Amino acid sequence: MSAKSDVLGDFWKRAKQAGHSFQPSTHIFPSLDTAKVEANLDIRSVAAERGSEEQPDEGSQSLDGKELEIIQVVEDAKNDAYQNLEDQLQAFSQRLTTLDFQGQFSEIELSNANAISSFKAEVVKGKAELHDLRQKLSDATRSYNSFKAKHNITRAPQLTATPLLVLKYSVLLFIFVFEFIGNGYFLAKGNEMGLVGGFTQAMLFAFVNIGFTLFFALICVRRIYLPSLFQKFIGVVSIGLYGCFAIALNLFLAHYREVSGTTFGEAGRAALTQALANPVGLQDIESWLLFASGLLFSLIAFIDGWSLTDPYPGLAKTYKQMLHARSEYTERQAELIDELTNVRDDHENNIKDIIESLNERRAQHNEITAHRTKMLSLFVTYQDNLERTANTLLNTYRDANRKARKTPVPAYFGHAYKLQRVKPTLTDNVELTSEDIANAIRKTQAELSGQIKELTQLCSDGIDQYHELDKLFPDEING
């Protein structure tokens, strides 16, 4: 199955890479250290000094300089905390944007459609490929049946099993090697090059002996099975020719051994003259052994070559062509079926992973929004604490001032300070709630489950279409 069909698998890889690894951290806004602020501003001594001077005036309606300093410290702390909160809110917004639920749902919907289309396309491609292979098998079957009908053959071909075929080829190789070594030993006698010369000549004789024997066995003599009388005549004549060839070649080799003391050219002419003048006039027992062994090896090679394949010329070839076409078709059919089922299973696993990924993103979303809510709540509490801190410091200043003066204090000394609250800026983008996300995930899960069922049905239909070709091109083997 083409890699293009794994649309959902590609999306799953991208989804895993795009997920945000959120590490929650709660930043507690630091409270003002009242004692430290009091010491830094020297509140008590300044208050006593100002009180001894009867300042601020009894009729004063605005805060004096030291009180404004206290308020400024509180306002600075509030502004720093607010800036920190805005930074946190921006980070939360970016993390929520990274989760991109809307984009995920849209891409899943698109991937679903593409996966189904790709799967259908692969089924069509596979069916077209199998159609060609099945047509090839049908043609090979008709050719085989036509061959049998033309030659009036009703039996099945005689094929040699692979292990036995290996054994027969091994026998031929053994005969060649054994004849080569044996003849080389006999021919080395009198050869001026010794064993090297003897083995060289023996290799040539062994090649001619075994080669022509297989030529007669596999091509010529088999013609006795053909219906034509002329072909049968050729087959019968080939048997006689083979016998004459085997006897003549091995007699010549035996005579050649006896006269091989001269050079190769002279020995050949002398051996041929002696063999024609007196074929059975061998003087050495080893020469007769050389003749007998060569004739025996030739006969064994003839029988072994004859049994390598069906004796009727062309029958085994057409049958093997049909078997090869059948093997191509059935193997490719099995491969395509496996590819369909593998794609179906891979899609099912990818869908499970996608659902798990969406649930993980939902958990991250809940974690981020909960953390943001907590930060907002902490900031509200922090501003309340700042207001209390401001009033504590102001009361410390006013009490010290009151004790040091003789005139009444200003009326505003009895009023509590009200901190002006700031509200954080929240994004105007409409965010999905946890319930919205849960509903969307359930909807997506239902759609993906439906896709699994559709892919399963498409897979089953595709397999049926592949097998349907067997009905369109039924086997018509006779024998």
Question: Under a CB-based contact definition with an 8 Å cutoff, are residues 50 and 66 in contact?
Answer: yes
**DSSP 3-state assignment of 307?**
coil
Say whether both 330 and 291 belong to one domain: no
Q: Is 208 a member of any domain? A: yes
Which residue is associated with the tokens 């061959």? 147
Picking from 308, 341, 366, the residue at the C-terminal end of a domain is: 308
- What domain range includes position 193? 162-308
* 147 located within any domain: no
The whole-number pLDDT of residue 384 equals: 93
Residue 232: inside a domain: yes
**What whole-number distance in Å separates Cα of residue 87 and Cα of residue 379?**
13
pLDDT, tens digit (0-9, with 9 covering 90-100), for 433-474: 778 778 877 887 787 778 778 788 888 888 888 888 777 666
DSSP tag of 159: -
Please identify which residue in the block is written with the tokens 């997920």: 19
The verdict on 16 and 92 lying in the same domain is yes
Selection from 308, 317, 300, 320 nearest residue 164 by Cα: 308
The model's pTM:
0.58
Transcribe 38-56 into DSSP letters. Answer: HHHHTHHHHHHHHHHTT-S
Q: Report how far residue 173's alpha carbon sits from residue 167's, in angstroms, rounded to the nearest whole number.
A: 10
pLDDT at 475: 61
Residues 95 and 181 in one domain: no
31 and 169 both lie in a single domain = no
CA–CA dist 333, 323 (Å, integer): 15
pLDDT of residue 260: 65
**Structural domain contains residue 213:** yes
pLDDT along the chain (479 residues), means of 10: 50 47 50 89 93 91 92 93 88 81 72 77 87 89 88 80 72 74 64 62 79 84 84 88 86 74 59 74 77 84 80 85 90 88 82 80 85 90 93 94 93 93 74 77 79 82 82 60
* Whether 94 and 219 share a structural domain: no
Amino acid sitting at position 325: A
Clarify whether residues 341 and 432 are in a common domain.
Answer: yes
Domain boundary among 308, 336, 368: 308
CA distance 75 to 11: 50
Does the residue 137 lie in any domain?
A: no
Given 276, 308, 340, the domain boundary residue is 308
Distance, CA of 266 to CA of 281 (rounded, Å): 19
Same domain, 343 and 438: yes
User: Are 220 and 180 contained in the same domain?
Assistant: yes
Query: Is cis: bond before 424, omega within 30 of 0?
Result: no
Residue 454 lies in a domain: yes
Q: For 81-102, give the DSSP string.
A: HHHHHHHHHHHHHHHHHHH-HH
Nearest to 91 by CA among 25, 28, 31: 25
Tokens standing for residue 217: 């066995």
Q: Tell me which long-range contacts 407-415 makes (C-beta under 8 A, separation of at least 24).
A: 407/54, 407/58, 408/58, 409/58, 410/56, 410/57, 410/58, 410/59, 410/60, 410/61, 411/61, 412/60, 412/61, 412/62, 412/63
DSSP letter, residue 478: -
Is 425 contained in some domain? yes
Q: How many CB atoms lie within 10 A of CB 61?
A: 9
One-letter amino acid identity for 201?
A: Q
CA dist 150 → 210, 218, 475, 479 (Å) = 33, 21, 19, 14
If one counts the domains in the chain, the total is 2
Q: Indicate whether 153 belongs to any domain.
A: no
432, 101 contact by CB (below 8 A): yes
Do 330 and 304 fall into the same domain?
no
Q: How far apart are CA 188 and CA 196, in angstroms?
A: 8
| Cβ contacts of 42 within 8 Å, gap of 6 or more | none
Residue 41 one-letter amino acid: L
Comparing CA positions, the residue from 425, 219, 468 lying closest to residue 337 is 468
Question: Are residue 288 and residue 353 in the same domain, yes or no?
Answer: no
Q: Are residues 412 and 332 in the same domain?
A: yes
* Count of beta carbons in the 10 Å neighbourhood of residue 322: 24
Count CB atoms within 10 A of the CB of residue 128.
Answer: 9
Nearest to 341 by CA among 447, 472, 466: 466
Residue 235 shares a structural domain with residue 358:
no
